[in-house]
Amino acid sequence: MKNHTFKLIIPLSLILCIAACNSPKSGNNENAEEKIDEAAQALGEKKYTVYKAPPSPEYADASLKLTAPQTLLDTGDTQFEFEVANYELGAQTADAAERGIANSGKGQHIHFILNNDPYSAHYEPTFTKNLPVGNHVVLAFLSRSYHESVKNGKSHVVQQFTVGSPENPLEFDPNGQHLFYSRPKGTYKGADTEKLMLDFFLVNTSISPDGNKVKATINGETHLITEWAPYYIEGLDKGVVTIELELVDADGNFIPGPFNRVTRKVTLE
């Protein structure tokens, strides 16, 4: 396995242990270090390596705005129109060739996510989608050519839509805390199987070592993510990989929300 500078992703119990051991009340730095080492050893060896991806072009001024349609729609095909500023759809992200992960030959694009289903990629700001009768939530955000989301506060849109006259109400709080799944997705072949990017999108929430977290379970192995950033996964065997993401609070409790727990399967060939 290649050498990397790793960002340690640790279970909540270990985080609490570290916090306690590092407090002034512990009184002895050597004892604190011993306790941290013992806690890390108790976790056992991880089969999969999950670490923060290196920095990518920031696009701090890039923005995405939805200009059409309205929130009430007729049944059938619907044309979505976005306004993109300070970002070039269809261009290759500058460091794409250096990332060593799956990359779109069509360049930068918009990830369009309907009801937290797998996204569709769009390389033009106008496209048509079919929304069936019902209540829907759309998340759209700007994506680098290697499918990493732009996370600058202006790069995404969240919008609710009602099509026709659905019987069931929409159970989505626009002011609530939400987690949306993005990557990995689909089938990976050849060199792309060696390193997968794990990426997600947060709305109305943040994560930190002492706050909310994203719990990532990869083929049954759990990693706690405490910083909103893209991550790389290495050490996966060929075949089907199951990934579950959950938004949890500081105590490890699931935060209720229609999209805050999602399971996806990807295939490595």
- How much is the mean pLDDT over the chain? 88
Pair 71, 46 in one domain: no
Give the pLDDT of residue 83.
98
Q: Is the dihedral of CA 244, 246, 250, 252 positive or negative?
A: negative
Pair 239, 154 in one domain: no
Pair 71, 139 in one domain: yes
Give the pLDDT of residue 74.
87
Give the pLDDT of residue 76.
80
Give the pLDDT of residue 43.
47
What lies within 8 Å, CB to CB, of 183 at 6+ separation is 147, 148, 196, 197, 198, 199, 200, 230
What CATH number is attached to the domain comprising 117? 2.60.40.10
Q: Are 66 and 159 in contact (CB under 8 A)?
A: yes
The segments of the chain whose pLDDT lies below 50 read 1-29, 32-33, 35-37, 39-40, 42-43
Give the pLDDT of residue 30.
54
Residue 27 in domain: yes
Pair 67, 111 in one domain: yes
Give the pLDDT of residue 46.
85
Give the pLDDT of residue 44.
52
Pair 91, 48 in one domain: no
Residue 169 in domain: no
Residue 168 in domain: no
What letter represents residue 201's amino acid?
Answer: F
- For the entire predicted model, the pTM comes to 0.83
Final residue of a domain: which of 163, 191, 217?
A: 163
Q: CA–CA separation, 88 vs 80, rounded Å?
A: 18
Structural domain tally of the chain? 2
- Its domain, for residue 154, covers 63-163
